[in-house]
Amino acid sequence: MNYRKVTAIIRGDVLEKVESVLRALDVHGISVTKVKGYGEYADFYSSDWMVSHARIEIFTDETQADSIAQAIMKSAHIGVEGDGIIAILPVEKLYRIRTQSEVTANEI
């Protein structure tokens, strides 16, 4: 089975909406962290230009990665600079620490 890691950096104020959409898609697990940075949008009023966002990381089967990315894009879209970015990356292997074994197709 081929896995993908979907990483999205989105506005914090749309996080709950995105989480709700991912639950409706039956995404089995996500990690959310608060991050700071700048890219397309920078806060020029701040001394370091940093803007607070949320980063969502999801490990999934490759067949679901694009639909997850599209769902995040649709639910996080406001239409202004700083809406965010999504990356889909290949994953060589996944291991579950609890069982110390490789994750199989029916576990993710």
DSSP class of residue 55 equals E
The torsion defined by the Cα of 71, 8, 33 and 59, in degrees rounded to 10, comes to: 80
Nearest Cα to Cα of residue 83 among 6, 10, 5, 4: 10
Q: In percent, how much of the chain has pLDDT > 90?
A: 72
Under the banding of pLDDT at 50, 70 and 90, the label for residue 101 is very high
The alpha carbon dihedral of 55, 60, 62, 67 has a sign of negative
Number of domains in the chain: 1
With a cut of 80, say whether residue 80 has pLDDT above it: yes
The CATH number given to whatever domain includes residue 103 is 3.30.70.120
User: Cα 18 to chain center, whole Å?
Assistant: 9
Q: Which domain holds residue 18?
A: 3-107
Mean of pLDDT over the chain: 92
Taking only the tens place, the pLDDT of each residue in 21-59 is: 999 999 989 999 999 988 878 777 778 888 899 999 999
> Which residue in this structure is represented by tokens 């370091």?
48
